[in-house]
Structure 1
Amino acid sequence: MRFSLGARVATTATALGTALGAFASMGTATAAVAVPNGEWAPFTRCPVDAPAMLAADGLARTPQCVVSTSPNGSIKLGKTTVTTGRTNLQIGVIQNSDGTSSVVAPAGGALIADSATVPGGLLGLMCPSNIPAVTAICEQLSNSSLNKITATVESVGAPYDFNQTAGILTDEPIVALPVRIHLENPFLGSKCYIGSAAKPIVLRPENRQFPEFGMSFFRGDGTVADDGEMSRINLTGATQNDSSFAVPGASGCGLGLFGLIDAAVNAKTGLPSAAGNNSLTLNNAQTHLAGLNAPGTVAPDAGKHLSRNWHSAVE
């Protein structure tokens, strides 16, 4: 029983690990949250109380928690490459009996990550320029703290096209992740984005190598136990990459300059950029997946059972 469950959970964890690492390529740090006990420790934000998770019966729908982290990586958009820092993404997954999967994000957002700094700042992003209004801004930026730009990746829709089998393979897309990138600097205003809900950047990450596999069993409160009702899959050390995505041009940048800064940013960075000219790399991805060993034995309340277990490790 455990062997078959472990194989199924491992497949899901591998797939989601790649997807999660890609989605968390850049971001913004948020306040610390409570750390659950024992084997639950990485799952600080699993959406166990989301309606879809609670409704999972353990037969037709099986609920699981997933977290994926990466210490660093890089993302190339057109002519600009940004080094990324620590990332952490957490979601719930519902495995359906027909072989499909559904993704559930935490209510406060799935992504927590260090902010990424754009190399060269605003000077590097849009200067020099042959647009007089932009040139005037460029002249003010030399040796100025106003030059710094931070970039934050934001979800603009639910993941889709999840392929569970691809999670145990290499060089095959696992999931589609629609995102946009928020560029922040006083001269850019508050609505400067690369990508949008209508025209997102769609990441389709792939494994570049097989991750190392480990598994543990534990009780509902997180205590390690060979006869525990919970299991945790650990997948570590994989490099993840996607170079298939296209990047639209920047929009909404600049304070009342009627698209002039949009044009300057796009011209300097080479946006829009067609698929094949962009790439995402996440180093040393660490992925963990937790689920009930025998969800059918607590049907139709598997989701509620998972929620109670997680809360028992937190409270």
Structure 2
Amino acid sequence: MAAALALVAVTAAPSSAATSQPSGLYTGMGTCPTSSTQMQDPDQAVVGCVVATIGGGGFTVGSTQVNFTSPMTVAFGATWAKGGPTVTFPDKTTATLFSTVAPTDGNELQSSPLDVPIPGLSNFWPGVTSAIVLIEPAGPITDFAPLSAGENYPLFQLPIKLHLLNAFLGLDCYVGSDSTPIMLEPTAGTTSPPPPNQPVKGNTGAISIKADPNGFKSSVVGFAGATMVDNALPVPGSSGCGLFDSADWIVNSLFGLPSAAGHNAITLSSVTTTLAVDSSDSDLTNAINASRK
């Protein structure tokens, strides 16, 4: 009865559902691509919507350390087809490897600009004595393994590139690219980096599983206060800096690029992740729409 009433309400007031936002357990899932061909494919055994907020942390490239000064958000859809891929851990447990679907607005990763001081300079003029750095995706999230929490295995793979904005570097200065990205493979378990880096351990935080409050089949899995780490990643050199790449060598020299694996690290702290999963895309859609306010 609750499911029928919710469906009638959504059908009767499409303009309200389209403009209002999901709330409660489904907060932040307004761009989940439930209408995509991939999520509507009847061969999917599980479909899901993911939204994560990264509250802090930072990255180290060689001797340069940068702290995240504002939250970042990650959002996407997830699917697992019948008989789809899994990974087996040393303790013989297995985890599903989800495929991902870009959100309806195309923004899998949203972050605010970072003000990164240039080594050797006193930073008193942002964008001149520092570089404004934008963390941008260099490809889609892949190999999403939410059940790997606590295992020494990446939660996902995310290729990124760092867009450096500075008065002398032009508008196309990047560290990493779509073809040669910085590949993040963060884990809540323990890393296995090459030397001189040493293994570091993440934290799964508090895990919760809740049923849909309106009687739909969806389940909502939450991870609150997690810490994810990766200190085995290499960082490539810069490109597009200055006129005809004339300043690439300056950026590489100042920041010690390219930087081999074992000399870099990233920490994602205060991570809150919500994963809504269902065996039916239409049921998941109705569950999200029923929460809209």
- With the shorter chain as reference, the TM-score category is 0.7 to 0.9
Q: Which has the higher strand share?
A: 2
CA contact (8 A) 1:37 1:313 kept: yes
- SS of structure 2 residue aligned to 1:191: strand
- SS of structure 1 residue aligned to 2:249: helix
* Counterpart in the other structure of 2:172: 191
Counterparts in 2 of 1:144 and 1:291: CA distance versus 1, 3 Å: closer
Aligned length: 247
Q: Is 1:212 paired with 2:197?
A: no
Cα offset for 1:105?
Answer: 1.4
Of 258, 264, 270, the match for 1:272? 258
State the structure with bigger RCO (CA 8 A, min sep 6), 1 or 2: 1
* Counterpart in the other structure of 2:4: none
Counterparts in 2 of 1:48 and 1:274: CA distance versus 1, 3 Å: same
Of 73, 94, 106, the match for 2:57? 73
* Counterpart in the other structure of 2:76: 91
Using the alignment, how far apart are the partners of 2:216 and 2:144 within structure 1? 29
Identity %: 30
Cα offset for 1:143?
Answer: 4.6
Residue identity opposite 2:287 in structure 1: N
Cα offset for 1:312?
Answer: 4.1
* Counterpart in the other structure of 1:180: 161
* Counterpart in the other structure of 2:197: none
1:230-264: per-residue Cα shift (whole Å, max 9, x none)?
2211111221100111100111011x2x4332101
Structure 2 unmatched runs, 5+: 1-18, 86-97, 189-201
* Counterpart in the other structure of 1:200: 181
Q: Is 1:112 paired with 2:118?
A: no
Cα offset for 1:209?
Answer: 2.3
Using the alignment, how far apart are the partners of 1:77 and 1:286 within structure 2? 25
- SS of structure 2 residue aligned to 1:263: helix
Using the alignment, how far apart are the partners of 1:169 and 1:142 within structure 2? 40
CA contact (8 A) 1:42 1:288 kept: no
Using the alignment, how far apart are the partners of 1:81 and 1:213 within structure 2? 30
CA contact (8 A) 1:48 1:310 kept: no
Cα RMSD, aligned residues only: 2.4
* Counterpart in the other structure of 2:227: 239
Q: Is 1:159 paired with 2:145?
A: no
Cα offset for 1:282?
Answer: 1.0
Q: Is 1:150 paired with 2:132?
A: yes
Using the alignment, how far apart are the partners of 1:286 and 1:312 within structure 2? 23
Cα offset for 1:196?
Answer: 0.8
Using the alignment, how far apart are the partners of 1:231 and 1:50 within structure 2? 20
Using the alignment, how far apart are the partners of 1:202 and 1:308 within structure 2? 35
* Counterpart in the other structure of 2:285: 307
Residue identity opposite 1:239 in structure 2: T
Residue identity opposite 2:219 in structure 1: S
CA contact (8 A) 1:78 1:247 kept: no
Using the alignment, how far apart are the partners of 1:231 and 1:202 within structure 2? 30
Counterparts of 1:16-31 in structure 2, within 5 Å, are: none
Cα offset for 1:86?
Answer: 0.4
Cα offset for 1:161?
Answer: 4.0
Counterparts in 2 of 1:71 and 1:61: CA distance versus 1, 3 Å: same
- SS of structure 2 residue aligned to 1:309: helix
Cα offset for 1:214?
Answer: 1.2
CA contact (8 A) 1:194 1:249 kept: yes
CA contact (8 A) 2:115 2:126 kept: no
Using the alignment, how far apart are the partners of 2:52 and 2:208 within structure 1? 15
Counterparts in 2 of 1:144 and 1:212: CA distance versus 1, 3 Å: closer
Counterparts in 2 of 1:164 and 1:217: CA distance versus 1, 3 Å: closer
Task: Using structure 2 for the length normalisation, give the TM-score.
Answer: 0.76
Counterparts in 2 of 1:308 and 1:267: CA distance versus 1, 3 Å: same
Of 269, 272, 283, the match for 1:283? 269
* Counterpart in the other structure of 1:47: 33
Cα offset for 1:307?
Answer: 2.6
- SS of structure 2 residue aligned to 1:210: coil
